[in-house]
Amino acid sequence: MSIKPEYFVYFLVFILSITTSVAQNGGVEITGTIIDTQSKQPVEHATITIKDSKTQNMITGTVAGEKGDFSITTDALDIYVEVSFIGYKSNTIKDISVANGKVALGTILLSEDKQLLDEIMVVGERSTTEFQLDKRVFNVGKDISSTGMSALEVLNNVPSVNVNIEGQISLRGSTGAQIMIDGKPSVLADEQSNALGTITADMIEKIEVITNPSAKYDAEGTSGIINIVLKKEEKKGLNGSISVNTGTPDNHSVGISLNRRTEKFNLFAQLGAGYRSLPRESESINTDLNNNTTVNSGGTSYRNETFYNVILGTDYHIDAHNVVTLSGNFAYEIEDQPSSINFSFLDDTNSLVSAWRRDETTEATNPKWQYDLQYSREFKDNEEHTLLFNALGRFFGKDQASEFENTNISGTEIYNDQQTETKFQQADYTFKLDYTRPFTDKIKIETGAQYVINDVGNDYAVRDLVEGEWIPDDDLTNNFEYDQKVLGLYGTGAYEGDKWGIKLGLRMENTNLNTLLTNTNEANSQDYVNLFPSAHTSYKFTELFSLQAGYSRRIYRPRLWDLNPFFNIRNNFNIRTGNPDLQPEFTDSYEVTGIFVFGKASLNAGVYHRYVTDVIERVSRFEDNVNTTTPLNIGTDKTTGFEVNAKYDPVRWLAINGDLNYNQFNREGDFENQSFDFEGDRWTSRLTTKFKLPAQFDLEITGNYESGYQTVQSQVADNAYGDIGVRKKMMEGKAVINFAVRDIFASRIQKVTTEQPGFSLYNEDFRGRFVTLGFSYGFGKGEAMTYSGGRRR
């Protein structure tokens, strides 16, 4: 057993302070308080040493108390005081002024020694990655927890996880993973809040990565789960960040995030406001192959948005085993959506028959709110013996009015001006109870229930201007009501030995869905019960190589907009609509993954197979040069592929992260006497290179490639694009300037070609280059948030 050097120093100073105090009958009393320069928190256990000014030998010493205060007595007069603590720069005080036998040094500031912290590598306390049945666990060691970095930067060290320079998180190359804190949802983990920047590395115990969720989790499809597990100690003081961002196209915001942690409370708040604009250029060509007529359309649309956001919440630690969390989020958005689309109609000789312009003016207000009440209990017999209750409520409203004005440019074709009006309200409620009970160190069960309510109303009206009068279009006007309730019950049992483990689970979900078009009294009701089994196993061959295999059954329920039969008529020659009769699709997912760790590199490689039934695909119907796309359930899909994620840090200033996903698929299905059977393949890749440059500059370059692929009716073109970002840290990491360019070559263009008997379609969408510039200042123990500007959604 070895004794850490700092413990030996504490012991020596403690013995000296006792012996000198016993020997002294008087002398000079020296007092003071040791405070951290950045966090303004006391530095307990700091070492105070009294030294002889001539010989520099130690005379006596003591250790600061819990509040950073100290008192020490000495007979010597020609002295100086030295204050030190591991990880901090020493502070020497030579100007000693004695008054009435006392020296009051007041507040003594200690600042962290970043260089020293970077060099601290405690053997046996380095960060490690291990397999645990249905998840991979990244244990945060001293090599990371002592650095003061934010949670986003810690995530960037986790295999399979990447955080770009703007703070967007991806898991195995795919965004959209659910982020949780201590196994439960949190507004701090909400990607839109960016509040993860207020959680520092020394608060984090481990990070769990789940790529194929077990029956414990909602059966609704997800790209994975990332769970951040915090340490039990809560005396962390005040952490926060202030940010100011700008960009082009317009992307301006200001915000402040705060997180105050004490023994009993964790208080967090965020305030934000801003304005952003999202332009989109589009082009469409609709050709009727029966009479060879064509309608061309193209133009630019905008979504301009002014937004305000407030987040408030607290964790209250009733005692060491019970925690209550209450949080709320309110947002208000004001939208302005102008667009201008030019149309031209060509006859069978490709001659222009008519041309016109369709201008849109749309205004909308969107109130949003969310509340979250959680109670967690950790039983005294085992820290993994837990009970968790969660109640979550969300509301989203939209009050929108649009006007479409058609201006004739040439020819005699005249189209009516139109108006639309939307009153939309959506309320979602989730109630969840989870219970975990370990029977031994190797055997554990989990059980629980979840009830989800989705209640939506969408009142949609269309009016045509006929001879100066607005006439309702009854075919396009209706009120759509959507009511879905899902009850889920689950149970899992697991055995986990030193090398091998297995976990089996079963989830039952009852779905009750009712939709109604109130004006026409068209109703659709669905009530079904499904079972979702899961099985996971893992085997650790060595400390550097492990294998994990898993199976789960998942469901994708049609979203509201897939079911709602009415959609925006911005371009009334290319209309998207929903299908109230749409059924859910089911996926059986099989996966085998290996993790390899060798030297400065880590590699995650896996093979997978997915079998999907009742696949939801959008199908085009064509009439009078009008293309209407509707989602339909068409057949099955069998997909087999492999996925590789690699991280390599050859030197301290260079990090390389690569993702590759390739799969082959087989589609089988029929609809309206038409066969949709076909085979194809698809692959995506991403390579991110990060450079640590002098003067605390970071450079990040990302390249992406998405291959072309076939759908039931269309061919999607391939796509290649790149992003670049530069970050400059200042003030020992407390301030950060970010500059980023997304789609630097303006090459991210979506092109879809459809060739079918009787018609052909070509559609192109382009959003263009985005440039953002942001400044963040962090206070407390963490660094400034590495996020710059609002991400585009």
Choosing from 97, 112, 127, the residue where a domain stops is: 112
Choosing from 64, 93, 112, the residue where a domain stops is: 112
Same domain, 161 and 175: yes
Q: How confident is the model over 334-350, as pLDDT tens digits? A: 999 999 999 999 999 99
Please list, in sequence order, all residues whose beta carbon lies within 8 angstroms of the beta carbon of residue 377, skipping any fewer than 6 positions away.
321, 322, 386, 387, 388
How would residue 117 be classed by pLDDT, with cut points 50, 70 and 90? Answer: very low
More reliable by pLDDT, 152 or 28: 28
Residues 773 and 738 sit within 8 Å (Cβ to Cβ): yes
Same domain, 28 and 131: no
Same domain, 43 and 96: yes
Does residue 220 fall inside a structural domain? yes
Does residue 434 fall inside a structural domain? no
More reliable by pLDDT, 53 or 151: 53
Q: Is the pLDDT of residue 387 over 90?
A: yes
Q: Is the pLDDT of residue 59 over 50?
A: yes
Cα 716 versus chain centre, distance: 27
Give percent of the chain above pLDDT 90. Answer: 27
Number of alpha carbons in the 13 Å side-chain half-sphere of residue 247: 30
How would residue 146 be classed by pLDDT, with cut points 50, 70 and 90? Answer: very low
Choosing from 192, 211, 235, the residue where a domain stops is: 235
Q: Is the pLDDT of residue 115 over 60?
A: no
Does residue 207 fall inside a structural domain? yes
Domain span at residue 129? 116-181+201-235
Same domain, 20 and 102: yes
What is the overall mean pLDDT for the chain?
82
Return the minimum-mean-pLDDT range out of 155-164, 525-534, 548-557, 689-698: 155-164
φ/ψ of 695, rounded to 5, equals 60, 30
Does residue 341 fall inside a structural domain? no
Does residue 210 fall inside a structural domain? yes
Same domain, 44 and 71: yes
Does residue 146 fall inside a structural domain? yes
Q: Report the alpha-carbon distance of residue 182 to residue 376 in Å, rounded.
A: 10
E strands present in 128-213: 128-132, 135-139, 161-163, 169-171, 174-175, 178-181, 204-210
Mean pLDDT of 99-103: 84
Return the minimum-mean-pLDDT range out of 143-147, 178-182, 291-295: 143-147
Return the minimum-mean-pLDDT range out of 74-83, 230-239, 699-708: 230-239
Q: Report the alpha-carbon distance of residue 345 to residue 351 in Å, rounded.
A: 8
Same domain, 60 and 143: no
Q: How confident is the model over 440-497, as pLDDT tens digits? A: 989 999 999 999 999 989 898 999 998 889 998 888 888 889 999 999 999 999 998 8
The structural domain count of the chain equals: 2
Same domain, 51 and 71: yes
Q: How confident is the model over 516-563, as pLDDT tens digits? A: 988 888 888 989 999 999 999 988 887 678 888 989 998 888 877 788
pLDDT at position 294, please? 94
Instruction: Tell me the CATH number at 121.
Output: 2.170.130.10
Classify the C-alpha dihedral 540-543-547-551 as positive or negative. Answer: positive
Q: Report the alpha-carbon distance of residue 576 to residue 310 in Å, rounded.
A: 34
Give percent of the chain above pLDDT 70. Answer: 85
Does residue 553 fall inside a structural domain? no
Same domain, 72 and 143: no
Same domain, 79 and 56: yes
pLDDT at position 559, please? 78
More reliable by pLDDT, 792 or 402: 402
Mean pLDDT of 157-165: 68
Does residue 43 fall inside a structural domain? yes
- Bridge partner list, 361: 403
How would residue 652 be classed by pLDDT, with cut points 50, 70 and 90? Answer: confident
pLDDT at position 18, please? 43
Instruction: Tell me the CATH number at 99.
Output: 2.60.40.10
Q: Is the pLDDT of residue 284 over 90?
A: yes
Instruction: Please report where in the chains the tokens 């208000």 appear, as a residue.
Output: 332
Same domain, 145 and 83: no
Same domain, 132 and 220: yes
pTM of the model: 0.73
Same domain, 78 and 93: yes
How would residue 195 be classed by pLDDT, with cut points 50, 70 and 90? Answer: low
